[in-house]
Amino acid sequence: MNTIDERIERAGILTEALPYIQKLYSKTIVIKYGGNAMINEDLKRSVMEDITLLKYVGMNPVIVHGGGPDISESLKTYHIESKFVSGLRVTDAETMRIAQMVLVGKTNKEVVSNVNRNGGKAIGLCGIDGKIIECEPLTEDSEGNKIDVGFVGKIKKVNAEILKSLCEDEYIPVIAPIGTDDSGQSYNINADTVASAVATAMGAEKLMFLTDVEGVKDAKGDIIFEITTSSAEELIHVGTINGGMIPKVRACVKAVLEGVNRVHIIDGRVLHSIILEIFTDTGIGTMFKKG
């Protein structure tokens, strides 16, 4: 039996969330879902509970998911070696076939099922559906160097009307990072890039990246709780931000510069990390802002 003090404390937590609920009511929040939060069962459940709660208090969550480990595992089954250039999976025709099968047929439907199990109404999509994501072959890495990575896509346009309609009809769109060109050819696209482009096209209030790190860190290893777009680029330039964090941070910077109000990198290994970021005064992780 909870004591009266414990119940008062819980009431205080709810009232702390009230101004954030008021501010974000009817706003779009794009969530890039990936990392350990897609593997650990407790984390899966907490993420789905958080996202369902956002919908029930009047926000419009949109999920963009990754699936690299699932693709790699399936490629092993077919005895196909995974190759990467500049952090991007080299995607020949057979790899593309398997990536699409895994992302759309397996991973996407698992996420949809998990949202629905927690009381949400999720709809699974990929960029091919309604030509939501129009793309062309990616021929340069983030530094402008020429690369040949096969059927990896560069986004030309996100057609957000379908996504907006689904949100208005009380659904939660769940998007697999596959796009298409004018001829109908499918392309594998970096999920961080897709999340950034979707957030921009939908005029999202927030874009949140669930990761396996606490946030962006400075040269001393301390978390940077707020960072400007110019400071982020400088940390990339001097090598403080490196490796797999570079495309993620670049996606954050791009989204802010193209009009997304707030972009966050948060630790998806923390239970209810989305709620902690959105509904508490302190928040967690790193927030990007223009400057």
Annotated catalytic residue, options 32, 44, 55, 206: 32
Residue numbering of the annotated binding site: 67-68, 89, 188
Residue written as tokens 């101004």? Answer: 19
Verify whether residue 50 is a known catalytic residue. Answer: no
Rounded distance, CA 194 to CA 175, Å? 9
How far apart, in whole angstroms, are the C-alpha atoms of residue 30 and residue 54? 11
Provide the annotated binding site for substrate: 67-68, 89, 188
Tell me phi and psi for residue 150, to 5 degrees: 75, -135
Residue 43 near residue 269, CB atoms below 8 Å: yes
32 is catalytic: yes
Q: Decide if 35 is catalytic.
A: yes
Q: Of residues 44, 55, 248, 254, which has the active-site annotation? A: 248
Candidates 50, 70, 129, 192; catalytic one: 192
The DSSP code for 105 is I
Query: Which entry of 34, 35, 179, 285 is annotated as an active-site residue?
Result: 35
Q: Does 248 qualify as catalytic in the annotation?
A: yes
CB atoms within 10 A of CB 35: 20
The overall longest dimension of the chain from CA atoms, in Å, is 65
The catalytic position among 44, 50, 66, 68 is 68
Single-letter amino acid, residue 70? D
Catalytic residue at 68?
yes
Judged by DSSP in three states, 149 sits in coil
Structure tokens at 160: 């957000």
Going by C-alpha positions, the residue among 170, 179, 159, 162 that lies closest to residue 122 is 170
Q: Which residues belong to the active site?
A: 32, 35, 68, 192, 248
